[in-house]
Structure 1
């Protein structure tokens, strides 16, 4: 029962993310850094940081590593998700 409630609460937190925040959390989960995300999405690194900094409190986390864990726990990212070419 507690696990189901925790999963629902986590899903609710993810649902609070904007489409761009969600996209960036997914990319963070695949191991991309801010520069790589910025290049892929054709936005500035500052914009990536802004979106990530807005997403993290919504997810209830304070570090990038915790955001990666949430991405995996919620299925935003799956094991074997594509990594940038220079990290394969």
Structure 2
């Protein structure tokens, strides 16, 4: 499994945990995912880095507001799409 595929699977699994109400476990998984993904985004063009920072900010706002369903959507759809669009280059 490539790094990209691994990130996608981890993001989808994290989203599932949030949807199941396992927010503590999901929060820890999300931290691990962000730490793992960050170096890959550091190598992308600045416009992609800005999209990543914006998305990360939206995800953290959802986490702070305990809006687990919106956070799960960001992880499963927005992050996965950004990963596929930018890291498949």
Q: Could you tell me the TM-score, scaled by structure 2's length?
A: 0.31
Larger Rg: 1
Structure number with higher helix proportion: 2
Indicate the structure whose relative CO is greater, using CA pairs within 8 Å and at least 6 residues apart: 2
